[in-house]
Amino acid sequence: MDKDFFSLNIMELLKAGSFYLESKGIPDSRTEADLLLAFVRGIPRDKLYLELNKEVSPQEKEKYQEFLRRRGEREPLAYLLKTREFMGLEFYVDRNVLIPRPETELLAEKVLDFSKNNLVQKPVRILDLCTGSGALAVAVAFYWEGAEVVGTDISQEALSVAQKNAMQNHVQVDFRLGDLFRPVLGERFHIIVSNPPYVSEEEYGYCSPEVRNEPVLALLGGKDGLDYYRKIALEAEEFLMSEGTLILEIGCCQGQAVKEIFAGRGYQSLIFPDYAGHDRIVMAKKE
């Protein structure tokens, strides 16, 4: 960005920002420049255009320039704006957590489908493994009144984010620190849900620079990406109520392999696709 940056008005700042981001290979460069400048000014995006003749202070310009630079280095937009929408709710996100994805909303919906049938006794107990930002756990607690939701994660930093998100959305979730089932020894749940790390070592090599800015702990599922399904399939029985169900997110080509892992532990499973037609969810029950 040139040295005259500080003399630019709002329209010019947006144009310069968009041009810069485009040169760095960001697809929605204009939208992102808008969002960053609006964020710096503390206003919603549509208000930017109502305030075109208002002054942008040198401090705001400096902050905007700094954000453009970081975005140009492919830091994810959600980390800069510190927010992401999921299931119609606002979530705080930072680099300690995976950014909630639209596909994961399908997982939340599958869990919430159970609230519509009467098969689950009340109060329903739901466990979210590898809760991360808490998006799944918080959305389920928000939309399923009376559900008791427990979320576990191995990262204390992630759990602080999850706690913040529960408070921000006015729901109660019992977040506990520890690896997978360790924090819930001796307890049972009607539904166990999880979006575990499932990227293989090879796939990680092809991930976008944005994804590589996300916590590797939340992405890498061992050499073939399937480690967490093996661990969950091995241990889940002890933590499921009889008739309990597992609902897990899986990678786009993992349906068959995950089905086999669960079959090997005596589960029957169904694979569901996402809107792009890729394998995305496995639902498994003890036979």
**CB closer to ligand GLN, 61 vs 101:** 101
How much helix, strand and coil, in percent to the nearest 5, is found in the chain? 45, 20, 35
How many helices (H) and strands (E) are present in the chain, helices listed first?
A: 12, 9
Nearer to ligand GLN, 65 or 200 (CB): 200
Choose, by CB under 6 A, the member of 183, 197, 244, 255 that binds ligand GLN. 197
When the beta carbons of 134 and 196 are compared against ligand GLN, the nearer one is 196
CA distance 33 to 39: 10
Residues 87-116 that bind ligand GLN (CB under 6 A): 101
Question: Least distance from C-beta 268 to ligand GLN, angstroms?
Answer: 23
Contact indicator for 79, 250 with CB cutoff of 8 Å: no
Beta carbon nearer to ligand GLN, 64 or 181: 181
- How many positions of this chain bind ligand GLN (CB under 6 A)? 8
Site string (67-86) toward ligand GLN, x via CB under 6 A: --------------------
Pairing of strands 267-273, 279-286: antiparallel
Beta-sheet strand order (sheet of 189-194): 174-177, 148-153, 125-129, 189-194, 240-249, 279-286, 267-273
3-state secondary structure of 267: strand
User: Rounded to whole angstroms, how far apart are CA atoms 114 and 128?
Assistant: 15
For position 199 contacting ligand GLN by CB under 6 A, the verdict is: yes
Measured CA to CA, the distance from residue 72 to residue 69 in angstroms comes to 5
Token representation of residue 114? 């159970």
Nearer to ligand GLN among residue 17 and residue 196 (C-beta): 196
Which span sits near ligand GLN by CB under 6 A: 37-45, 118-126, 153-161, 194-202?
A: 194-202
Instruction: Give min distance, CB of 103 to ligand GLN, in A.
Output: 7
Other beta carbons within 10 angstroms of residue 239's beta carbon come to: 21
Choose which of 114, 198, 229, 262 interacts with ligand GLN (CB under 6 A): 198
CA 116 and chain centroid, separation: 25
> Applying CB under 6 A, does 278 fall inside the site for ligand GLN?
no
Q: Which of 10, 112, 154, 211 binds ligand GLN (CB under 6 A)?
A: 211
Which two tokens mark 273? 């696709």
Q: What spatial distance separates the first Cα and last Cα of the chain, rounded to whole Å? A: 62
Q: Does 195 bind ligand GLN (CB under 6 A)?
A: yes
Q: Report residue 92 CA to chain centroid gap.
A: 10
Chain position carrying tokens 């006015």:
170
Nearest CB to ligand GLN, comparing residues 13 and 283:
283
Q: Using the minimum distance from each CB to ligand GLN, give the nearer residue, 38 or 248.
A: 248
Q: How far is the CB of 251 from ligand GLN (least distance, A)?
A: 7
**Under rule CB under 6 A, residue 219 binds ligand GLN:** yes
From the list 82, 134, 78, the residue with the least C-alpha distance to 108 is: 134
Query: Which stretch, 20-28, 118-126, 170-178, 196-204, contacts ligand GLN (CB under 6 A)?
Result: 196-204
226 binds ligand GLN (CB under 6 A): no
Instruction: Tell me which residues touch ligand GLN (CB under 6 A).
Output: 101, 195-199, 211, 219
